[in-house]
Amino acid sequence: RIEQVHKKVIEGELWEKEPAKVPACIECHQPHTVRRVYYDEGVSNRECLSCHGKEDLTTEREGATVSLYVNESEYHDSMHAKTSCAQCHTGATPNHPERACATVVSKVDCSICHAEQVQLFNESTHGTLLARGDQDAPECMDCHGVHNVRGHLQPDSPTYVSNVAELCAECHGAGGKADVRYEGRDKGMVENYAMSVHGQAVQQSGLVVSATCSDCHTAHHVLPESDIRSTIHRANITGTCAECHEGIFETFKNSIHFTGEAHGETRLPMCNDCHSSHEITKTDAQGFMREIVTTCGHCHEEVTESYFETFHGKVVKLGYTETAKCQDCHGAHDILPPGDPASHLSRDNIVETCGQCHDGSHRRFAGYLTHATHHDKDKYPFIYWTWLFMTALLVGTFVFFGLHTLAWLPRSIMAMKHSRQLRAAVKPGEKMFRRFGRVERYLHLLVIISFLSLAITGMTLKFSYLGWAQAISHALGGFQGTGVIHRIAALITFFYFTRHIIALVSKKKESGKSWKDFVLGPDSMLPNKRDGQEFIQTVKWFVGLGPRPEYGRWTYWEKFDYLAVFWGVAMIGFSGLVLWFPEFFTRLLPGWFINVATIIHSDEALLATGFIFTIHFFNTHFRPDRFPMDPVIFTGRMTMEEFKEDRPREYRELVEKGQLEQHMVEPMDPRMVRAFKIFGFTALGLGLSLIVLIILTVLFNYR
């Protein structure tokens, strides 16, 4: 039937537009006047293949030798097996004296049969470039083949689902004709697609229902994303994705991202804004989970910054992806304003939303201010004033004791020579003064272990946005590992604090004193009038206006260190418990107290860490006359000469009371001293390393 042979002649009225392309019937079929003759099918093809079936048939074209060979086997296996040569190569003259194809001068026009596809192709980027004469532009045969055209449902076809990416990669792959000309932001698109969830599904799992290049860009109507007609234009992208993800689209079209109004230069996000174009990964993949908050931050910058100041945001920075992120609270494709009853964050739903992670979620717990910031005094006054108080406490403490340390330094340098002489004068086996008992020494070991553990693991969370914090966290087992260490160290802290209180009670009973006399007595760790006097005398000594005070058992700076532990355990300990068990404590306290506890815990910990590793280390170990370490807290012993020099008032009082000999003990085993020094130097090294990192962060990267 003629409509099957010359489809466009019949349907497209080709004879009216390009009559030269329409062959006369007798050019293929010999005329008959007397009787009907039945010709073999493909009689004209046989004539063509008599020449073109020879492998050595060539021609010269633009200085190059071009093969004119047609593989008959491939041709008969192709989709065009029943299409005669003359249907594509129009203009042949069967009765030409030389050869029938001598009059074929025009290129093959696929629109003779594929009118709709060619029309779309001509409108596409490929077709437009081809019409301009661009040598890099593809033609039909570049994708479909020449005489071996296969159907797109045949696995060996270049247009079969699992082969499309490889086909497109011939031009759009790395170094391809299209790739070297591409100036957009989506470099490596073919390679990225191969690693995407779509590419892996098609190429690795053989899921032919997954998306390939042509599913998103179409096969013949490929247009840039800036063209409103393009399937990847912002106005059309959701519809394109909906071809496969219809259920998600039905949800998304009711969300604020689809129905809302853009503000300023910000555009409402479409599918590819969150999932990307060619790098689409599984939504439960680690990479996607880590990046989703940053992705949201492209539009919601301020809110995202406040998120990264929360516990959730900090652990995300440390690589932990199981914590709550934007979509866990707001939803993914069904995001609605909190005022909308259907929103995940509406009053009716927020408790349940928090309950996805927090089993004990309740109304007051859900009152936690997720994106609150201390920078907004009017909106969050409690948070602002807490931050201001903690900042003033931190700055004030470091300014006061920093000046104290700087003033002490010259005096300590002058005492270096004398201190060395005292240590050198010690005779082997000579009895020593016992300054600390066994319980005090071992409790201090627990203080060192727990404090270092708390400081290191805590600072990785506080400075989670920096590489050094992330590296330490990773080395300690990630956030989960540091979290376990932090909590164990906290329990050790509560233990040694409780044990010390018990020791104080026992000591009070042994003394036979009343609580008033015990707490306010001369050997008490509470400050008294004498401490104020010694502070003034010390300052005068620093500046050369008086002699060094005759210190007793405890100096004013040691009492400050001691009371700072009480303050720190109370402040850091209680706020830490609130953060450890927020569901319980918010039954007694408002939800915003979690925000307050976070500031207290973080800033007080920074103060404690900075003070211990700078001021306390200087007072006890790094003073030039004590450098590099004073082991008395480990051994509990000091030489008699050092005791007389360092605590003259205490020495005199013990002599007057006849109690000095009670405090004299044998030197500690040198092996134990060596072990304590190794432990001590290790602790000092860790503390110094951490404080250097903190100081550099505060100076150059603090947020």
pLDDT at 244 over 70: yes
What is the pLDDT at residue 423?
82
Tell me the per-residue pLDDT of 345-392, one tens digit each, with 9 for 90 and over: 999 999 999 999 999 999 999 999 999 999 999 999 999 999 999 999
Strand order in the sheet with 637-638: 637-638, 432-434, 664-665
At 144 the pLDDT is 96
Identity of residue 354: C
Q: Which of 3-7, 272-276, 417-421, 689-693 has the highest mean pLDDT?
A: 689-693
Task: Annotate 140-183 with three-state secondary structure.
Answer: HHHHHCCCCCCCCCCCCCCCCHHHHHHHHHHHHCCCCHHHHHCC
Query: Dihedral, CA atoms, 328, 482, 568, 502, nearest 10 degrees?
Result: 120
* CATH code of the domain covering residue 577: 1.20.950.20
Average pLDDT in the chain: 91
Same domain? 589 vs 673: yes
Q: What is the pLDDT of residues 593-617, one digit of tens each?
A: 999 999 999 999 999 999 999 999 9
Identify the pLDDT of residue 221.
97
Note whether 125 and 65 are same-domain residues.
no
Mutual orientation of helices 529-542 and 556-580 as an angle, nearest 10°?
110
Is the pLDDT assigned to residue 6 strictly greater than 90? no
Average pLDDT over residues 250-266: 83
40 and 128 assigned to the same domain? no
Q: Average pLDDT in the 99-122 region?
A: 91
User: Is 98 among the domain residues?
Assistant: yes
Does one domain contain both 16 and 123?
no
pLDDT in tens, 472-483: 999 999 999 999
Tokens of 597: 């506890």
pLDDT range class, residue 692, cuts 50, 70, 90: very high
Average pLDDT over residues 161-174: 96
Mean pLDDT of 243-265: 88
Over range 179-206, report the average pLDDT.
Answer: 92
Within a domain: residue 650? Answer: yes
Average pLDDT over residues 62-68: 90
Q: Which whole number is the average pLDDT over 447-458? A: 98
When pLDDT is averaged across residues 178-191 and rounded to a whole number, the result is 91
Do you know the residue count of the chain? 703
Last residue of a domain, one of 110, 142, 177: 110
Residues 33 and 145 in one domain: no
**pLDDT tens-digit profile of 494-532?**
999 999 999 999 999 998 899 988 988 888 999 999 999
- pLDDT band for 21, please (50, 70, 90 cuts): low
- What is the arithmetic mean of pLDDT over 538-558? 96
Whether 587 is covered by a domain: the verdict is: yes
pLDDT score, position 676 = 95
Integer Cα distance of 122 and 656 in angstroms: 111
Q: Return the ∠ at Cα 468 (arms to 464 and 471), rounded to 5°.
A: 85
Rounded alpha-carbon distances, angstroms, from residue 290 to 100, 130, 359, 446, 481: 68, 43, 24, 37, 18
Tell me, yes or no, whether 565 and 646 share the same domain. Answer: yes
Do 162 and 76 share a structural domain? Answer: no
- How far apart CA 619 and CA 538 sit, in angstroms, is 14
DSSP β-bridge partners for residue 434? 637
Assess whether 158 and 58 both reside in one domain: no
- 169 with 95, same domain: the answer is no
- Residues 575 and 695 reside in one and the same domain: yes
DSSP label at residue 480: H
Tokens linked to 453: 């553990």
Instruction: Give the Cα separation of 193 and 230 in Å (integer).
Output: 19
Q: What is the pLDDT of residues 312-340, one digit of tens each?
A: 999 999 999 899 999 999 999 999 999 99
Residue finishing a domain among 58, 77, 110: 110
What confidence tier does 93 reach under pLDDT thresholds 50, 70, 90?
A: confident
Name the domain count of the chain: 3
Q: Please say which residue of 227, 246, 280 terminates a domain.
A: 280
Work out the end-to-end distance of the chain between its first and last CA atoms, rounded to an integer number of angstroms: 80
**Beta-bridge partner residues of 433:** 638, 664
Instruction: Please say if the pLDDT value at position 88 is more than 60.
Output: yes
In a domain, 363, yes or no: no
Give the HSE-up count for residue 112: Cα atoms under 13 Å, Cβ half-sphere: 26
Secondary-structure percent of the chain, ordered helix, strand, coil, rounded to 5: 60, 0, 40
At 15 the pLDDT is 58
- Is the predicted pLDDT of residue 261 greater than 80, yes or no? no
Q: Is the pLDDT of residue 228 over 60?
A: yes
Furthest-apart CA atoms within the chain: distance in Å:
153
- Please report which helix (H) or strand (E) contains residue 577, including its range: helix 556-580
Least confident of 33-42, 310-319, 446-455, 587-596: 33-42
Higher pLDDT, 62 or 156: 156
**pTM for this structure?**
0.82
> Do 73 and 180 fall within a single domain?
no
> Does residue 138 sit in the same domain as residue 75?
no
Does residue 360 form part of some domain? no
Q: What average pLDDT does range 681-699 have in this prediction?
A: 96
Q: Return all residues near 401 (Cβ < 8 A) that are at least 6 apart.
A: 557, 611, 615
Please give the residue range of the domain that contains residue 448. 403-700
In a domain, 52, yes or no: yes
Write down the residue that tokens 């990669």 correspond to: 169
Confidence category of residue 185, pLDDT binned at 50, 70, 90: confident
211-220, 422-431, 618-627: least confidently modelled range: 422-431
pLDDT at 116 over 60: yes
Is residue 315 situated within a structural domain? Answer: no
Count Cβ atoms below 10 Å from residue 548 Cβ, excluding itself: 14
Distance CA 582, CA 588 (A): 10
Quick check: is 247 in a domain? yes
Q: Of 18-32, 485-499, 570-584, where does mean pLDDT reach its minimum?
A: 18-32
Please give the residue that has the higher pLDDT: either 250 or 18: 250
Q: Which of 602 and 95 is assigned the larger pLDDT?
A: 602
Per-residue pLDDT at 39 exceeds 50: no
- 3 state SS of 434: strand
